[in-house]
Amino acid sequence: MESEISLAPEILSSVEHALAEDIRTGDVTTNSIIPAQATLAGQIISKQSGIVAGLFIAQAAFQMLDKRVNLTSHVNDGERIEADRVLAEVKGIARAILSAERTALNFLGRTSGIATLTRQFVEEVRGTKTKILDTRKTAPNLRACDRLAVRLGGGENHRMGLYEMILIKDNHIDFAGSITEAVSRARKHRIGLEIEVEARSLKDVEECLDLGVTWIMLDNMSHEETRQAVMLNNGRAKLEASGNVTLANVRQIADTGVDYISVGALTHSVRNFDVSLIVSKVS
């Protein structure tokens, strides 16, 4: 499998730590039963339909234990696949493959689950101007993996972390005393960073617009309030709807005309995609 996708250092670090967590001083079962130079061939199989994502991460897991392990993909990351599809073939040193198997499949299952759910949301809003965003509600130390999966599912990434942009939320506003004061403090502290403000009412939206805020989050607003916010905004700022978004209501939200809908469920409530490794040959 050629490295068509360059994995971020954060992803490689996550894989390295996951392998260390699982193996620690050694895979006592595999090392006691499998000869050191034994080889095997196997197939990674999908056991459900959906969007595959994370084959390059799985490859990295195997090759961190032995660079001679070869993973040949039969599908592309981001591709829709059906159940019982052969996703890839794995060949190489048996100990490395068996010891890395669970880590590789854990990453592949999680990222494919995120990509599959993301694609469902993206398809629900197809034909509108609205784009689906992820949030920071990711698994600890897996954010880079989760964000990659969202992109492969057709969604877009919001800020990577607290350092990347200023997002003034309700607690910040309450502490400062007003949106105006919070924005003033933020602008003085970090000139040049984009500022997004969470609005809890149409009055908040008006205040943000008066301040020249360019990105406004509409927090848990009703569909009617969201529609009024879009009319009030009239294209001046980017509008992001957020809060209690589901597959059942995401289209209705998109039809209001917002630019973005952020969906925490993409990463905090993902259902693992079912994949397995079937050994076909040992030597």
- The pLDDT tens digits for 192-211 are 889 999 999 999 999 999 99
65-101: pLDDT as tens digits: 999 999 999 999 999 999 999 999 999 999 999 999 9
pLDDT, tens only, 31-44: 999 999 999 999 99
Q: What is the dihedral of CA 226, 231, 235, 239, to 10 degrees?
A: -10
Q: Mean pLDDT, the chain, as a whole number?
A: 96
Question: What mean pLDDT is predicted for residues 122-127?
Answer: 98
Secondary structure of the chain in the HEC alphabet? CCCCCCCCHHHHHHHHHHHHHHHCCCCHHHHHHCCCCCEEEEEEEECCCEECCCHHHHHHHHHHHCCCCEEEECCCCCCEECCCCEEEEEEEEHHHHHHHHHHHHHHHHHHHHHHHHHHHHHHHCCCCCCEEECCCCCCCCCHHHHHHHHHHCCCECCCCCCCCCEEECHHHHHHHCCHHHHHHHHHHHCCCCCEEEEECCHHHHHHHHHCCCCEEEEECCCHHHHHHHHHHHCCCCEEEEECCCCCCCHHHHHCCCCCEEECCHHHHCCCCCCEEEEEEEEC
In this predicted structure, the answer to whether residue 260 has a pLDDT above a threshold of 90 is yes
**Whole-angstrom distance, CA of residue 33 vs CA of residue 136:** 43
Categorize the per-residue pLDDT at 190 as very low, low, confident or very high, splitting at 50, 70 and 90. confident
Active site residues: 102, 137, 169, 198, 219
Q: What is the pLDDT of residue 2?
A: 42
Tell me what percent of the residues of the chain surpass a pLDDT of 90. 95
Counting residues of the chain whose pLDDT is more than 70, the rounded percentage is 98
Higher pLDDT, 2 or 96: 96
What is the pLDDT averaged over residues 113-119? 98
pLDDT tens sequence across 44-62: 999 999 999 999 999 999 9
pLDDT (average), residues 1-10: 70
- pLDDT, residue 5, reads 61
Torsional sign, CA 69, 73, 77, 81? negative
Question: 3: pLDDT confidence band, cut at 50, 70 and 90?
Answer: very low
